Chain A
Amino acid sequence: GQNIDQPTEMTATEGAIVQINCTYQTSGFNGLFWYQQHAGEAPTFLSYNVLDGLEEKGRFSSFLSRSKGYSYLLLKELQMKDSASYLCAVIDSNYQLIWGAGTKLIIKP
């Protein structure tokens, strides 16, 4: 079966750095997305990785290792507004999008 694993919940301090991990076992790989979802709202796109390495976009970076089936989302200089769920999703060999359950990130002052 296809599976995406993320921690259920993480807590971090305002101003700090947090890394949210995602491991996947899918039938093939055609890319990986990270989305942010505030409580009760729609998911919004953060990043897309298809090649190994780090993609940086402001305070957020996303890393991919295809050989390890692993990605992480790195959030720097955390702000209270970063409190949200972060969803990892993988495009499989049939171009179907497989979603993880999401990681709820709690930011404390």
Chain B
Amino acid sequence: DADVTQTPRNRITKTGKRIMLECSQTKGHDRMYWYRQDPGLGLRLIYYSFDVKDINKGEISDGYSVSRQAQAKFSLSLESAIPNQTALYFCATAKGSDTGELFFGEGSRLTVL
């Protein structure tokens, strides 16, 4: 089983719908991240969390919200999805180090029609 699990893996939805992407990890890491990946662009950070009570905005947080329900769970929500949020979303974890490598989930492909 994957150490970092994302659900759903694929989702097609309509404009205006609320969508939640979930991430759970068994690595015991404190740090969790949500990224989106678009063709031709680097990974862009949406939100990150260094522990259960810590939530931080990334470079593209508008239109998104997150919840850190437990050390192992970090969810990303799109309150009202729009077509330009169509992308591949990755959850990642890291140990408690500013220079630690990231461990990625398998990705959630979201299409907003």
Shortest beta-carbon distance from B50 to chain A in Å: 11
Judge whether B101 and A30 touch: CB under 8 Å.
no
Interface of chain B, helix or strand or loop or mixed?
loop
Nearest CB of chain A from residue B94's CB, rounded to whole Å: 9
Alpha-carbon separation in the docked complex, A96 to B50 (Å) = 13
Count residues of B near A (Cβ-Cβ below 8 Å).
17
A44 to chain B, nearest CB (A): 7
Which of A50, A91, A98, A101 is the one whose CB lies under 8 Å from B41? A101
Question: B105: which A residues are within 8 A, CB to CB?
Answer: 42
Contact B90 A42 (CB under 8 A): yes
Residue A99 at the chain B interface, CB threshold 8 Å: yes
CB A5 to nearest CB in B, in angstroms, measures 11
